[in-house]
Amino acid sequence: MVNKNITSIDDLSVKDINLISNQAIKFKNSKKIQFVKNPKNIFNLFLEPSTRTTVSFELAAKKLGYNSININFEKSSLSKGETFTDTMNTLISMKPDALIIRDKTNFSPQNISKHLNIPVINAGDGTNEHPTQALLDFCVIKSIYKNKKISIGLCGDIKHSRVAHSNIKLFTKLGYKLHLIAPSYFIDKNEVNKINPNIIYHKNLKKINDLDVLMMLRVQKERIPKNGKNMMNSFKKDYCLLSEHLSSKPYLMHPGPVNRNIEISDNVLDNYPKSLILTQVEMGVYLRMACLKYLLK
């Protein structure tokens, strides 16, 4: 039997997305969660920094009764010069039942999954995808709007954002109307048009109050070119969300971590009544439980 993976939204059908999201919402609403009968060993290999994804995967595994083994770059022998392949062979020799990986290299989880017969979850690969973030974002929206096809806007550094790429794929697959709001240096329209030619583009924040949900995206400082400081300053000037931009119409989301006063002002981040940013963090645990259940049952 071919094992299932979540290395990209492309790995999932609409039926899979609905199955996983319904299970996540069910977990969130459950008073008591049953431990699995056969505890398994889940390896979390995080080769880039993370707070939300790493903690939520660990907590998700523990809430289900699995063993969660965490490996990060600084504490691994990669930091002593071991090659990636040797590290992978070493870890696989210990027979994990699933591998969760975050890596700076695009498509690394997909490439690894081709050589393994255990489920692989992509916890973020370079600028490519972050499928479990998109799934949890969908769960938050679904909890509020059920199956209503609302209008969603993604704003910011779409070009370098793996969250944006997974969200564009996911919401396109489900038939939502998407609006992308970004300066030209933070968007590659040819790349986006390959996923969905019907996306609506905006060059400023003028229409954000027509949206149901506005998702601001982190400027990926570590992935933009050396002259990126100019981009940051220009983006901050024209796109940083201030309270005067909002007439309290859209719900506000952000995958985190937020660059305060670059994407969202302190005032909006701390006081906007329709912010869902911490709801996203909370949903991350239940969504990752649902992903583990989907892959390991």
Q: Where are the alpha helices (DSSP H) in the chain?
A: 14-29, 52-64, 84-93, 108-113, 131-145, 162-173, 189-195, 228-239, 266-271, 277-296
Q: Tell me which residues in 129-168 interact with ligand CP (CB under 6 A).
A: 130, 133
- Least distance from C-beta 249 to ligand CP, angstroms? 25
Interface residue with ligand CP among 8, 21, 23, 53 (CB under 6 A) is: 53
Residue type, 288: R
Q: Given 3-state DSSP classes, what are the helix, strand and coil percentages for the chain, each rounded to the nearest 5? A: 45, 15, 35
Cis peptide before 96 (omega within 30 of 0): no
- Least distance from C-beta 260 to ligand CP, angstroms? 15
Interface residue with ligand CP among 96, 109, 119, 124 (CB under 6 A) is: 124
Nearer to ligand CP, 109 or 255 (CB): 255
Determine contact, residues 130/28, Cβ cutoff 8 Å.
Answer: no
Q: Tell me which residues in 13-52 interact with ligand CP (CB under 6 A).
A: 50-52
Rounded to whole angstroms, the Cα distance separating 163 from 24 reads 19
- Least distance from C-beta 46 to ligand CP, angstroms? 8
Which residue in 288, 295, 283 sits closest to 142, CA to CA?
283
- Least distance from C-beta 52 to ligand CP, angstroms? 4
- Least distance from C-beta 188 to ligand CP, angstroms? 21
- Least distance from C-beta 50 to ligand CP, angstroms? 3
Rounded to whole angstroms, the Cα distance separating 130 from 39 reads 26
Angle at 239 between CA 217 and CA 244, to 5 degrees: 115
Does 256 sit near ligand CP (CB under 6 A)? yes
Nearer to ligand CP, 113 or 166 (CB): 166
Residue type, 215: M
Nearer to ligand CP, 65 or 70 (CB): 70
Residue type, 295: L
Nearer to ligand CP, 130 or 159 (CB): 130
Does 183 sit near ligand CP (CB under 6 A)? no
Does 255 sit near ligand CP (CB under 6 A)? yes
Binding site for ligand CP (CB under 6 A): 50-53, 124, 130, 133, 255-257
